[in-house]
Structure 1
């Protein structure tokens, strides 16, 4: 039975494509007599026009009432009006119709026993209700991100407009962000949307795949290559041979990252604690393409060291570093061997070298040590019966080992994503892999933004690849202090 289904999944799409090709050939042979088209220009275009008024869906040329579809990468458009493409059947795991069916002009025809737009749902379910619900929770513990319903451990996303814009394993993706404002098409009809981001076909660029490039991808990449050999210095995107630098300045008045190949990063001229103020080079120099030119009487990478100080620059930095690689642990300003801790007035950051950061004891909601311990210089001392970095695990357990492991399994049956151990239905991620986190150890915190070597700039927590900032801080890397005093 499985072999028959496999053969069917391969042969049927090939048959449909062949049939379409034969139909187009027959139509063209009928419409042409002696190599001359018998249709008028208007009649020919009418046969190629889609209901929304586009000729061959904007993806091909009309030849005597027959659409000649353009080749694209990935895949190829086909159909009477170039309106079919099988990439829309690809799911988040890269499989076509989850390998449980075949794609027919962008629609999944599912094998027996499966249903859904991507053949992701099984008609018969043997999972207990609690287990099913647990498998539908996103990393924040919300079932189907409150944008769908749970069926046998899989989320059925709400799509009232029947456009299928809410997607993702946990309905966490809103593909309406991929809609072209002018045409209403997903990625302008020239790409595929994955979780709100457009991945464009070859020759197309832009956030919504709205720009077509007239140079080869190789030539485009060559023009965008920076002196260090990296494309746009890894600080921008290459569009038709030109670098669009990531402007991280929230005001939008001036891009901190600039240059023909985004080689200039003026963020390096700002101290860790006061990034995005106008106080470049600690107010004692001029920033030129990411390097500080200090005024007379000042020295240091960021012009932070007064030459009037009795200590040398090296001695001053060494006294401020303590056991860290950064002066004042990246949480303050070092001047003449002494640290001034930031943010100003925050009693949670203390110590000679600002080494104690009691904010590290807080969870996303601001609770200290989960309510089951106290904080000592940035580390939780847990009450008896509790353990974990934030005292989040209880030593006693009323679940059997089998029940516990069932809860810790991911939807594909892997315990804690293979990156941790299970305790009372909770995953304890491997401590040696500091970057692993999440309810099922499925997150990689190395994806969180960082600066000066500090994840979330030390001003927030990394939550499944995204920075959650503490009060008073904002920005992708929690690098912007919202206060007014410095």
Structure 2
């Protein structure tokens, strides 16, 4: 049965594409005699016009009553009036209809035993109600984000308008944010919406993919390429040949990242990144496109070293580094071979080289070692019966192996996303892959922003690709200090 379904999922779309091609060819041959169109211009356009008045849905050209559809990313339009595309059949993991069916003009035709817009629901369910409900809870513990119902461990999102605008594994996404205010189309009909954000087709840009470039994508990238070959120096977004630099200033004013290709990053001139004080070059120099030009009597990458110090710059930095690659472990300021840890007065950051950071023992909720241990120089010492980086795993287990495995499986049936092992219904992600995290090891913490080479600048926790900052810090990389003055 599975083989038959697989063959069907391959042959049927091929047959539809072939049929469409044959239909277009036949219509083209009938409409033309001797290479001359026999339709009047008005009649030709009428045949290409959609019910809402658009010619070829605005995605192609009309040639003697036949639509010639444009081939664009992220998908190709097809159909008699270029009104078909398969974007909506693509799921968040990159599959089409979750590999349980085939796509027909933007609609999933599911294999036997599956249903749903993306063939995500199984008709027969063997999961107990309690376990099914547990799989449907979002990180805050709310079933389907109160925007859907739970079916066999998967959320069926409420979409009363039949437009499918409530999406996501836990119905956490609101794709109405992708609707173009003028046309009402998702991403203006020129892109795909993922969790409220538009990903535009080639040649289109804007929050709702409403603007079109007058240059080719190749030329656009060429203009945005920095000297190191990176597009906008990896610090901005290329839009029609111009770089929109990422500005981390919460006030929205001109930021520290600038230049034609965002090549200037003046955050590197801060000893501790703090927009609200004169922290450039430690107050002893001027920042020039990310490089400190020090005043007389000062030296160092950030003009932090007084030449009056009895130690050389190299000796001072070496004394401050200890066993780290960064002076003061990236948690303090090196002053003539001695570390001043920050934030000032925070007893959790201690040590000769600020090497002890007891904030590392806290989870997102602020609990220390999960309440089952104590913190020693940034590491949890767990009580008997508990283990894990934050003492979050109990050694004893009341679940059977089958029950435990069910709780560790993702919605597509993969245990711990293939990146960890299962213990008592909880995933233990591979320790050698430090960047893998999440309830099902589905997160890549390498996606968290860095500053000075440190993830979340060492001032927060990486939570599934996003920095969760500790008190007193903010910014994409927790690099902005907004607490008390030093």
TM-score normalized by the length of structure 2: 0.90
Cα pair 1:273 1:332 within 8 Å, conserved: no
Distance 1:390 1:5, change over 3 A: closer
Aligned equivalents of 1:143, 1:55: Cα separation in 2: 44
- Give unpaired runs (5+ residues) of structure 2: none
Aligned equivalents of 2:414, 2:19: Cα separation in 1: 43
Partner SS state of residue 316, structure 1: helix
Worse-superposed segment, 26-35 or 370-379? 26-35
Partner SS state of residue 317, structure 2: helix
Distance 1:29 1:423, change over 3 A: closer
1:301 Cα deviation (Å)?
Answer: 0.4
Q: Deviations over 1:350-392 (max 9, x none)?
A: 2232222221121111112212222222222323332222222
Cα pair 1:272 1:330 within 8 Å, conserved: no
Aligned equivalents of 1:403, 1:15: Cα separation in 2: 43
Cα pair 2:31 2:39 within 8 Å, conserved: yes
Aligned equivalents of 2:381, 2:13: Cα separation in 1: 62
Cα pair 1:273 1:342 within 8 Å, conserved: no
Q: Deviations over 1:160-194 (max 9, x none)?
A: 22211222333343323333333222222112223
1:291 Cα deviation (Å)?
Answer: 0.3
Cα pair 2:267 2:273 within 8 Å, conserved: no
Q: Deviations over 1:56-92 (max 9, x none)?
A: 2211223455433223234432233321112321222
Distance 1:52 1:248, change over 3 A: farther
Cα pair 1:369 1:382 within 8 Å, conserved: yes
Distance 1:400 1:116, change over 3 A: closer
Equivalent residue runs for 1:35-114 within 5 Å = 44-63=44-63, 65-114=65-114
1:460 Cα deviation (Å)?
Answer: 1.1
Distance 1:352 1:460, change over 3 A: same
Q: Deviations over 1:137-158 (max 9, x none)?
A: 4455544344322212222122
Q: CA RMSD in A?
A: 2.7
Aligned equivalents of 1:17, 1:217: Cα separation in 2: 27
Aligned equivalents of 1:441, 1:32: Cα separation in 2: 59
Worse-superposed segment, 406-415 or 471-480? 406-415
Partner SS state of residue 133, structure 1: helix
Worse-superposed segment, 205-214 or 335-344? 205-214
Aligned equivalents of 1:45, 1:74: Cα separation in 2: 27
Aligned equivalents of 1:28, 1:389: Cα separation in 2: 67
Aligned equivalents of 1:24, 1:63: Cα separation in 2: 11
Q: Deviations over 1:191-212 (max 9, x none)?
A: 2223333333333334433332
Cα pair 1:238 1:244 within 8 Å, conserved: yes
Partner SS state of residue 11, structure 1: helix
Cα pair 1:114 1:120 within 8 Å, conserved: yes
Distance 1:169 1:233, change over 3 A: same
Cα pair 1:139 1:438 within 8 Å, conserved: no
Aligned equivalents of 1:324, 1:34: Cα separation in 2: 79
Structure 1 residue aligned with 2:186 = 186
Structure 2 residue aligned with 1:281 = 281
Distance 1:407 1:348, change over 3 A: same
Cα pair 1:447 1:465 within 8 Å, conserved: yes
Distance 1:103 1:405, change over 3 A: closer
Q: Deviations over 1:269-321 (max 9, x none)?
A: 11235366442111111111110001111111001111222222122222222
Worse-superposed segment, 413-422 or 154-163? 413-422
Worse-superposed segment, 470-479 or 413-422? 413-422
Cα pair 2:159 2:165 within 8 Å, conserved: yes
Count of matched residue pairs: 486
Structure 1 residue aligned with 2:161 = 161
TM-score normalized by the length of structure 1: 0.90
Partner SS state of residue 407, structure 1: helix
Distance 1:77 1:319, change over 3 A: same
1:266 Cα deviation (Å)?
Answer: 0.8
Worse-superposed segment, 75-84 or 414-423? 414-423
Q: Deviations over 1:234-290 (max 9, x none)?
A: 222223332222222222211311112211111111123536644211111111111
- Give unpaired runs (5+ residues) of structure 1: none
Distance 1:141 1:342, change over 3 A: same
Aligned equivalents of 1:138, 1:26: Cα separation in 2: 52
Aligned equivalents of 1:330, 1:9: Cα separation in 2: 54
